Amino acid sequence: MLALPNSKVEIMFILEGSQFEQFHIDKNKSKFLPNDTNKSVMVFSSQTRPVEAEFKNLNVMTVVMNPIAAIAILGIPAWEIKDLHFEPNTLPHLNGIQDALNTLPTFKQRAKYLEKYLFQQLIKSSYLNQTQQKIRGMQMLLGEKNSILNETELNFDHLYYSKSHFNRVCRDWLGVTYREYQLHKKFRKAMYAINNKNQSLTQIAYDLKYYDQAHFTRTFKKFAGVSPSEYRSSNKGQIPEFIILK
């Protein structure tokens, strides 16, 4: 499976019964082959590369958050874990959650447990006020009216910082520079358009103000690992950001 980048913070709790053969974002930076998947947690943020995963069985719960949660809940600047994932011993406060999730009998009970835990982490965070301030600058980006695709989009245009300070803020809270963040959002909009609109790739490139078709293809492939035409014809999962490789 190929999971296209979404620039979110994700915490993946691998539950009993999962059998991973391979998981990585960047083979040169990060490779994860869990020996005991029942006691493993994967956390990754500021994902700008596709995730490749092979598994026999998959039983997980994943919490997906806006990138500002990297500091507020995890206590880690987003740039420190860009395109990386790590195991739970890196974050001691995640230890023990795995056992509780495996013990609870229903999905609803597990979801409530995680919701309560994350809320408590947020409330006691020293970054709570800064987080609330930045949340007020979020906008909602939607696909078509009835689409299941939706995501938040940060808007920092109203912040009057110096260029250097502005880039530091973006790296801490987004994991990337604001320019990189904008390029990634344009890629996400292109992905939505390919799946939801009956338009040619040339028209999509024009609507999103790419320089030309070659620029569109080059930028899209940088994030997705495949060209727009390859993505359009690929075998997708339940939601279009998942491509089934095998």
Angle at CA of residue 80, ends 141 and 127, nearest 5°:
70
Average pLDDT over residues 231-235: 90
How many angstroms separate the CA atoms of 143 and 108, rounded?
27
Confidence check: pLDDT of 135 > 60 = yes
CB count within 10 Å of CB 4 equals 22
Average pLDDT over residues 202-231: 92
Q: Which pLDDT value is given to residue 138?
A: 58
Q: Which pLDDT value is given to residue 178?
A: 79
Question: Domain 2-129, CATH 2.60.120 — does that match?
Answer: yes
pLDDT band at 146 (very low <50, low <70, confident <90, very high): very low
Confidence check: pLDDT of 86 > 50 = yes
Question: Domain 137-234, CATH 1.10.10.60 — does that match?
Answer: yes
How many angstroms separate the CA atoms of 175 and 82, rounded?
6
How many angstroms separate the CA atoms of 16 and 60, rounded?
8
- What are the residue boundaries of the structural domains of the chain, listed by start? 2-129, 137-234
Q: Which pLDDT value is given to residue 143?
A: 43
- Give yes or no on whether 2-129 and 137-234 have one common fold: no
Measure the CA dihedral 135/139/143/149, to 10°. 0
pLDDT band at 142 (very low <50, low <70, confident <90, very high): very low
Q: Which pLDDT value is given to residue 83?
A: 77
Q: What does pLDDT average to over the chain?
A: 78
How many angstroms separate the CA atoms of 154 and 103, rounded?
37
> Higher model confidence: residue 123 or residue 30?
123
pLDDT band at 25 (very low <50, low <70, confident <90, very high): confident
How many angstroms separate the CA atoms of 4 and 133, rounded?
29
> Higher model confidence: residue 2 or residue 238?
2
Average pLDDT over residues 74-89: 74
Helix (H) or strand (E) holding 130: helix 128-135
> Higher model confidence: residue 88 or residue 234?
234
Q: Which pLDDT value is given to residue 42?
A: 66
Helix (H) or strand (E) holding 13: strand 9-14
This prediction's pTM:
0.76
